[in-house]
A and B are shown apart, each in its own frame.
Chain A
Amino acid sequence: MIRAVIDIIVSIAAGFYTTGRHLFVRPVTESYPEYKRPLPARSRARIILTRDPEGRERCVACYLCSGVCPVNCISMQAAEDSQGRRYAAWFRINFGRCIYCGLCEQACPTSAIQLTPDFEHIRRDILDMVFEKQDLLVDLCGKDPDYDFYQHAGVVVGLAGKGDHISENPPVNTRTNMP
């Protein structure tokens, strides 16, 4: 009985000691607007359109990001230049709808569309949340700096002939390939 009472008193005192000690511990809170924690490169926020190492637009307007987008916030119009290289005539992301899931980034075959850690791009007017191509396009390579889609695949646009792409076999002559 007395033992039980002592146990109770000791355990309660231990609790008071623990909380009391915390009074003198520096709070772990990060005061947000004054201190902005550097976020990991792969954290998902504002979306950008990157360029390849030569400074050309990476986007080939394949519509994969638009197709995979769960909330249909990406829309574009494909076009072709004189070399037969595809690009987006216009490209639009409605950030009012975007849920920052990152599926567009995963779907992109050219590493063009990428999510960045910059989450402070909120606007007062919801129409200002609709970003056009000139708002999205940046002069950087983003997270995949050496990748150039046309070095690996795609139409022959003067960069490389058939079979000259990186890790591509030369074309198979179907006539000599018979068993």
Chain B
Amino acid sequence: MWIWLLGYLVLMAKITAVLTAVMVLAAYLVLVERKLLGRFQVRYGPNRAGIYGILQPVADGIKLLLKEDLVPEGADRAIFLAAPAVVATTALMMFAVVPFGPRLTIGGREIPMVITDINVGLLYVFALSSLGVYGVALGGWASNSKYALLGGIRGAAQMISYELALGLSIVPVVMLAGSFSLVDIVNAQAGLPFILVQPLAFGVFLISAMAETKRIPFDLPEAETELGAGYHTEYSGMRFGLFFLGEYVHMQVMGALVAVFFLGGWRGPVLPPPVWLLVKIVFVVLFMIWVRATLPRLRYDQLMNLGWKVLIPLALVNILITGAFVAA
């Protein structure tokens, strides 16, 4: 009984730690992104709230919380209100299977440094990632606005095009690791990180991950210049904030997945494992910001072309080659 309670407490502690870290990181990623985009465009970015704009996320959060929560006339109220939560929740839940360290032994008991190590962790992540698109599509549909609807439709179409490449690109990694569990995949990279073994899979996965997080150059569901703000045009206040939070958490998740699948997860010299994972996540996210500062948005047909005619065949060929090597 006591052991069970203790395990429960440890689990709660892990969840709290991960959620706090993810939320704080999401808030500060917004600041980092704005600062960096500013510097990429030869300007300063936010630097008024606190020194170097360090309090900007606080100011943004207060502003979002205090704004009126509008529901447009003719909107499907229940779905409209629930959609942002779907996006944010699915993004946050994906972190449950990301390992952030080796097993810890305290008092003779082993504590896995992951919230839950399910044996189909990879499938769980992709399932939630696809579910997140429901928030986008439903939010866009329920808004009763043409821009939001177009954004939602684009979100759904983009998800179909890229989820396949995302899943296929990771199959060679699963072949090499021999497991769907993220913990096992990290353990399989004890010698070499998979980026050196599977550079093609890494490229396909990274591009698909950027499309999955709806970031430039794949931000067609939002597309400010075409659709106002796309699927969240009609949202205001904290509901918009949840969409925003979901997007940035999703970025972190994708960073974490890139780290886990290709960069060796928490493995690294000198620094403690969670710090290594953090460094790798931030590294991937910084690269995404650089991409955003550089590339223009793809056209709808270019996006489909890239997804169906380039990434999926590449991923399939990669599976064949890897399969041949693994079997041989």
Q: Contact residues of A with B, CB < 8 Å? A: 12, 15-16, 18-20, 22-23, 25-29, 31
Contacts and interface: CB of A to CB of B under 8 A. Distances in A.
Interface residues of B, number: 13
A23 B36 CA distance: 8
B40 A19 contact: yes
Interface stretch (B14-22, B77-85, B253-261, B288-296): B288-296
A12 to B, nearest CB: 7
20 contacts: A12-B295, A15-B294, A16-B290, A16-B294, A18-B294, A19-B40, A19-B290, A19-B293, A22-B39, A22-B41, A22-B42, A23-B36, A23-B39, A23-B40, A26-B42, A27-B44, A28-B42, A29-B42, A31-B44, A31-B47
A19 B36 CA distance: 11
Contacts of A27: 38-39, 42-44
Interface string B10-45: 000000000000000000000000001011111110
A37 to B, nearest CB: 15
Contacts, number: 33
Contacts of A19: 40, 290, 293-294
The 9 closest A-B pairs by CB, nearest first: A19-B294, A29-B43, A15-B294, A19-B293, A27-B43, A19-B40, A29-B44, A27-B44, A23-B39
A15 to B, nearest CB: 5
A22 B293 CA distance: 10
A176 B47 CA distance: 79
A25 B42 contact: yes
A26 B44 CA distance: 9
Contacts of B294: 12, 15-16, 18-19
Contacts of A20: 290
Interface string B136-160: 0000000000000000000000000
A178 B10 CA distance: 117
A28 B43 contact: yes
A16 B47 CA distance: 25
Given A27-B39, A29-B42, A29-B43, 5 more contacts: A18-B294, A20-B290, A26-B42, A28-B42, A31-B44
Contacts of B293: 19
A65 to B, nearest CB: 39
Contacts of B39: 22-23, 27
